[in-house]
Amino acid sequence: YSGIEFFGQDDKAKIPVGDKVPVATGVRPGKLKGFAPVDGPNPMGAMDHDFHNSNIIPSVELRCNIPNDISGSFFLGDKESGFGQIFVSLKDATFEPSNIFDHCASLISTTRKIGLNPTVLVLQTDGGPDHSLKRVAVQLALVGMFKELDLDHLVVLRGAPNGSARNKVERSMSILNIGAANVSLKRGQMPEWAEKRVSHCGSMQAVRDEARKVDAQREKALEQVRDLEE
C-alpha cells in the first residue's frame, strides 16, 4: 500500500549496568540460573543483583508489513522491501528517561533515514504513561510529529491495559534477548571528582540532582569569569 506505513513502538525492559561490579542482565536461556557464566561452568563472575544506579533503555521500533488478507503476517519482510525491520536505540536511563517527545523524534528520524515519505501513518504503542493519549504532552507531541512528517492522516493505536503482548513490536523484542543473554555489564570509570560526587547517591534521581548542582556551580563560576572580563 503505497504511502501507508504501520509502525510499532515501545521500550524494552531496562538493562541493569553495575557501578562497581558487573551486574547480570537477568536474561538466561533455557534452564541456566544463578550467576552469569564467565570462562567456566557457572563461576561467580557477576552479581545477580546489585544496588546500581545505571540502566540502559533499548527503545524499539518495528516497521510492520501490512498483509493483503486477515491471515497474513505483520512481521514478514526482507532487506529489499524494508518491512519487518527492527530499529533499536540505546538510552541512558539516568539522563535520557523515556518521554513521548523522544519517541516522536526517533520515529521521524527513522522514517527519514530509510527514505519513507508516508501520507498515512499508523502507530501502535502500549498503554504506558509516556504513550497515554489522555496526557496533553502526548497529544502535543503527536500533533508536532503529524505536522513535521506532513501527513494526511495519523492513526494512533494504544494497547489495552495488560494487553501489551498483542502489541506488534513486543513480539519482535524476543529476538533482542539473544544479544543480552549471559551478559553482565559495568559502567566506565568517571573522573575522580565525579566518582566522589555520586558515591553517596542511592538512586538515579539522586544522580540527576547531583548533576544539577554541578551545572549550577559551573554556571555560577562562568558568571564570575564574565564579570571579571567586563
Confidence (pLDDT) at 43: 53
What angle, 0 to 180 degrees and rounded to 10, lies between the N-to-C axes of helices 136-148 and 100-113? 20
Which segments in the chain show pLDDT lower than 70? 1, 26-51, 78-80, 82, 161, 163-164, 227-230
Determine the Cα–Cα distance for residues 39 and 184; give it in Å rounded to an integer.
13
Confidence (pLDDT) at 69: 81
Confidence (pLDDT) at 133: 83
Confidence (pLDDT) at 31: 43
Contact status, residue 98 vs residue 59, Cβ threshold 8 Å: yes
Confidence (pLDDT) at 23: 79
**pLDDT tens, residue by residue, 90-103:** 888 888 878 889 89
Give per-residue burial for 17-51: e unless 16+ CB within 10 Å, then b: bbbeebbbbebbeeeeeebbbeeeeeeeebbeebe
Q: In sequence order, what are the residues at sequence separation of 6 or more whose Cβ sits closer than 8 angstroms to the Cβ of residue 180? A: 15, 25, 27
DSSP code, position 125: E
Kindly give the residue spans of alpha helices, DSSP state H, lying in the chain.
100-113, 136-148, 168-172, 177-180, 192-198, 204-229
